[in-house]
């Protein structure tokens, strides 16, 4: 075996000059974070998936804004309709009240008639006191007087009707069996007596027959 030291040859290795050279920079490790200068770094172009996601988000936001605007308009329209409807209702009620007040006369003529609309010969038959004193009774605006044999004859007032003929047996047509409101004065067409005294704050007389 030959020994190289005897022939003056130096072993292979780093020379003195090589030892003075700096070590090469270590290779950057994969995954390590690197500093980026905001002034010189070029932004990365979004990927196709990112572009689609941004577009979808914008569409959803626009749809939400349209839905919100439509809901606001719908509620506003409903409020306007309610206000208009309330105004119309108040107007109709006021119109009906004015019409009713104009259509209802201050004074109405009434006739005491039997069930055949013939004017009674004795107006007292439409008086509650008179009927009771003769064994009869009053019910629902009608006066019932016994006529014998367990039978009765009914009488009632006709308000606002028209009398035809003259003398006994006169007939009344039209009119109503319902007494007018307390604001209307009712007078007998036969005797001229006041059956019901009208006026605001004045109630009708409790008993028919007048005064």
Cα of 2 vs its chain's centroid, Å: 119
Same domain, 66 and 129: no
Same domain, 95 and 122: no
Closest by CA to 198, choosing from 107, 114, 62, is 107
Q: Is residue 24 part of a domain?
A: no
Q: Is residue 45 part of a domain?
A: no
Q: Is residue 131 part of a domain?
A: yes
The count of domains in the chain is 2
Q: Is residue 134 part of a domain?
A: yes
Burial class (CB in 10 A: 0-12, 13-18, 19+), 158: buried
- pLDDT, one tens digit for every residue, the chain (211 residues): 555 555 555 555 555 555 555 555 555 555 555 655 656 666 677 788 777 878 877 887 788 888 888 888 888 888 877 777 766 666 666 665 555 555 556 889 999 999 999 999 999 999 999 999 999 999 988 999 998 888 999 999 999 999 988 878 899 999 898 888 878 889 888 888 888 876 543 333 434 445 4
183: DSSP letter: T
Q: Determine the structural domain holding residue 142 and report its residue range.
A: 107-196
Q: Is residue 192 part of a domain?
A: yes
């Amino acid at each position: 075996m030959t020994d190289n030291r005897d022939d003056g040859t130096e072993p292979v290795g780093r020379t003195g000059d090589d030892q003075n050279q700096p070590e090469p920079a270590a290779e950057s490790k994969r995954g390590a974070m690197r500093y980026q200068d905001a002034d010189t770094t070029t932004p990365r172009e979004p990927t196709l998936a990112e572009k689609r996601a941004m577009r979808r988000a914008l569409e959803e936001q626009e749809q939400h804004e349209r839905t919100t605007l439509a809901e606001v308009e719908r509620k506003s329209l409903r409020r306007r309709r309610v206000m208009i409807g309330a105004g119309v209702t108040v107007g109709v009620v006021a119109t009906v009240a004015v019409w009713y007040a104009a259509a209802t006369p201050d004074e109405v003529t009434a006739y005491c008639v039997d069930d055949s609309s013939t004017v009674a010969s004795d107006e007292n038959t439409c008086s509650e006191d008179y009927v009771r004193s003769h064994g009869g009774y009053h019910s629902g605006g009608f006066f019932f007087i016994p006529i014998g044999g367990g039978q009765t004859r009914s009488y009632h007032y006709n308000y606002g009707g028209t009398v035809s003929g003259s003398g006994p047996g006169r007939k009344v047509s039209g009119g109503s069996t319902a007494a007018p409101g307390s604001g209307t004065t009712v007078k007998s067409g036969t005797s001229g007596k006041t059956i019901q005294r009208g006026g605001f704050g004045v109630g009708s007389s409790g008993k028919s027959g007048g005064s």
